[in-house]
Amino acid sequence: MKKEIPYKIYLEEHEMPKQWYNVRADMKKKPAPILNPQTLKPITLEELSEIFCVELAKQELDDVNPYIDIPEEIRNFYKMYRPSPLVRAYCLEKKLGTPAHIYYKFEGNNTSGSHKLNSAIAQAYYAQKQNLKGVTTETGAGQWGTALSMACSYFDLDCQVYMVKCSYEQKPFRREVMRTYGASVTPSPSMTTDVGKKINAEFPGTNGSLGCAISEAVEAAAAQNGYRYVLGSVMSQVLLHQSVIGLEAKSALDKYGIKADIVIGCAGGGSNLGGLISPFAGEMLRGEADYKLIAVEPISCPSLTRGKYAYDFCDTGKVCPLQKMYTLGSGFMPTSSHAGGLRYHGMSSVVSEIYEQGLMEARSVRQTEVFQAAQEFARVEGILPAPESSHAIKVAIDEAIKCKETGESKNIVFGLTGTGYFDLYAYQKYNDGVMGDFVPTDEEIETSLSLLPNIDI
Ligand SMILES: *Cc1c(COP(=O)(O)O)cnc(C)c1O
């Protein structure tokens, strides 16, 4: 007999994954190796360990082991806010009048308000294991900085966050959350690093950029003994940690005998999307099942849909390893968009390779239609979604409406990565009817792509 599906499918604590899933192990054609930014040769474990903690560097380079144990300390922390629910969007289905079944995996149930904590806690754990004093990082919209500050306070590590100046001023409350967890937050560009001083001298009164904040954070880590720089997306280690999202979603579906037809995630650097789709993509790669996987990106920053698959720098400062990825060029400056977490020029090399192999499709959507979907969702499902997450909502609604037209009752699963309480300035713009849409011209993209490093290996 079929079990009735509850509004929220929870797993028991003991059903939580004990291992992360590394989809690279099941890929016949692996993502291209990451390169040392100085030598432009595949980076060695030794070299990578100067940038990341040794254990994280190992995970970064591991494309053979499908399962990697989640240390017990990390599992214990996960238990404070996981397993996260897989919610059946009964009210949204009813509102849309669709025969489709819509499910969302909700990652906003922790103070940082997003999935980023899943990797922050892992990175802080390995840093503490290695007896580091602390870590430095940048934050744009603020979600990653918040997650990392929570993780660092748990493991008693110092946390130094360089926050893009315009966010620092626009989102003072995020800053206070980070400070409450003990992080120091510096508006970037600052006068505390050489690169910050240089940028301030060159561009007086600048609002800062993510690229600049990365460069400051990297410099600060290198200048202090016992510090490492950490990243919240794009890297394969981050995708690995985020696989906890997909593994839990898969177990919850299996528990009720539900077979997903469509799996949708928003794509910034690709970490939540990669984590969500990994177990599904794994089944596709092993020839066990088929799914329609969809990445959703903002039309203002369309790396998958309009970018090029090539080696590029992960940061404007060109200090992080290079990845072969779908990219708009590391100098690409997306016009201001309110989905701060999706304003990244490139895409995780794992997600890029999955896309290149045709296992996943990609769509780009306009910010105004994203906020319309966010509003529609909030009004029936209650949760105030983050603008980033709302990209996935938009496409989930589109797919559900298609089902209404064809009469098909498909199972649609999407990732609801976080809440939008700190994005009310953006909601205000939308509610006031003054939100615009930005679409980069072909010329802008070509100019940026013409500056890609010329690497052929
Ligand atoms: C950072 C963020 C994203 C995008 O990052 P990915 O690495 O692409 O997952 C999406 N949603 C929320 C809520 C975020 O904070």
pTM higher than 0.85 for the full model? yes
CB atoms within 10 A of CB 259: 11
10-residue stretch averages of pLDDT, the chain, 457 residues long: 83 96 98 95 95 94 98 98 97 98 97 97 98 95 95 98 90 94 96 91 85 88 93 96 98 97 97 98 98 97 97 83 95 76 90 98 98 98 97 98 98 98 94 94 95 86
Q: Is 334 in the pocket of ligand 1 (CB under 6 A)?
A: no
Shared domain check, 120 and 105: no
Is 272 touching ligand 1 by the criterion CB < 6 Å? yes
Looking at the structure, do residues 97 and 224 belong to the same domain, yes or no?
no
Domain count within the chain: 2
**Residue 76 resides in a domain:** no
For residue 314, being part of any structural domain is answered with yes
Same domain for 403 and 363, yes or no, is: yes
* Cα-based distances in Å from 337 to 141, 296, 334, 368: 11, 15, 8, 10
Query: Which atom of ligand 1 is nearest the CA belonging to 114?
Result: 13
The residue whose CA has the least distance to atom 10 of ligand 1 is 388
Domain C-terminal end among 229, 251, 273: 229
Number of Cβ within 10 Å of residue 255's Cβ equals 16
The reply to whether ligand 1 has any atom less than 6 angstroms from the CB of 267 is yes
Structural domain of 120: 19-70+115-229
pLDDT, residue 234, reads: 93
- Do 246 and 327 belong to one domain? yes
The pLDDT value recorded for residue 162 is 96
Do 145 and 109 fall within a single domain? no
Q: Is 93 in the pocket of ligand 1 (CB under 6 A)?
A: no
CATH number for position 186 = 3.40.50.1100
Task: State in Å: Cα 390 to ligand 1 middle.
Answer: 11
Q: Is 417 in the pocket of ligand 1 (CB under 6 A)?
A: yes
What pLDDT shows up at residue 428? 95
CA-closest candidate to residue 291, choices 265, 260, 270, 267: 260
Are 207 and 137 members of one domain?
yes
Check if 268 has its Cβ closer than 6 Å to any atom of ligand 1: yes
Q: Which atom of ligand 1 is nearest to the CA of 419?
A: 13
> How confident is the model at residue 87, as a pLDDT?
98
Tell me, in angstroms, the distance from the centre of ligand 1 to residue 211's CA: 17
- State in Å: Cα 343 to ligand 1 middle: 10
Query: Is the Cβ atom of 186 under 6 angstroms away from ligand 1?
Result: no
- Spacing, Cα 405 to ligand 1 middle (Å): 31
Q: What pLDDT shows up at residue 346?
A: 93
Is position 160 within any domain?
yes
Long-range contacts of range 402-406, CB-CB < 8 Å, 24 or more positions apart?
Answer: 403/98, 403/99, 403/100, 404/96, 404/97, 404/98, 404/99, 404/100
Phi first, then psi, for residue 361 (nearest 5°) are -110, 170
Rounded to the nearest 5°, which phi and psi values hold at 13?
Answer: -55, -45
> From the CB of 388, is ligand 1 less than 6 Å away?
yes
For residue 209, the model assigns a pLDDT of 81
- For residues 394 and 445, state if they share a domain: yes
